Amino acid sequence: MVSTANDLNGQAVAMRWHGDRLELLDQRLLPGEEKWLTTQRASEVAQCITDMVVRGAPAIGITAAYGVVLAARYAGGGDWQAEIKQAIRGLAASRPTAVNLFWALERMETVFHGCHSLAEALERLDAEARRIHEEDVAGNQAMADYALDV
């Protein structure tokens, strides 16, 4: 899928979250080609991190957080907790030197441990992944605003 890499505010984006899938801008092809990859499974997200589709520590952490949400969304229902834990381990192994990856996964795991049902896990994990993403955007905006004053 080829599309523009801007959100509605005109800001450059490297990922787009749709609740049931995550679209990633294939950064290996930049600047010559703009190609979006659609992922629906945590294992696909982990492979994209390993293959360096996603680059940059913050983007890796955010991507992994959404990968955990996908694990919850598509958990089989039986032992959903084991499925999510397995997905977290797989995501952690995708780039073992990425600090933001582990930081984001720890936040997601903390949220996950307090959940008593798959529905609750999905709701809370989605909210936490969005929060991680929003915090990164806000931090970047604050740095840009500060730089304007310098």
Instruction: Specify which residues 69 forms β-bridges with.
Output: none
Neighbour tally for 143: CB within 10 Å: 10
Report the share of the chain in percent with pLDDT over 70.
91
Poorest-confidence range of 11-15, 47-51, 79-83, 131-135?
A: 11-15
Q: Which residues of 6-32 are buried (b: 16+ CB within 10 A; e: fewer)?
A: eeeeeeebbbbbeeeebbbbbbeeeee
Residue 27 pLDDT grade (very low, low, confident, very high; cuts 50, 70, 90): very high
What is the per-residue pLDDT across 90-133, written as a single tens digit (0 to 9) for each? 999 999 999 999 999 999 999 999 899 999 999 999 999 999 99
Where residue 4 falls among pLDDT bands split at 50, 70, 90?
A: very low
Phi-psi region of 10 (alpha: psi -120 to 50; beta: other; left: phi over 0): left
| Secondary structure class of 140 (helix, strand, coil) | helix
Mean pLDDT confidence for 9-13: 67
What is d(CA 63, CA 128) in angstroms, rounded to the nearest whole number? Answer: 12
User: What is the pLDDT, as a whole number, of residue 138?
Assistant: 83
pLDDT band, very low/low/confident/very high, at 1 (cuts 50, 70, 90) = very low
CATH superfamily of 15-149: translation initiation factor eif-2b, domain 1 (1.20.120.420)
Q: Are 61 and 101 in contact (CB under 8 A)?
A: yes
Name the pLDDT band for 10 (thresholds 50, 70, 90): low
How far is Cα 105 from Cα 100, in angstroms, rounded to an integer?
A: 8
For residue range 57-70, list pLDDT tens digits in order: 999 999 999 999 99
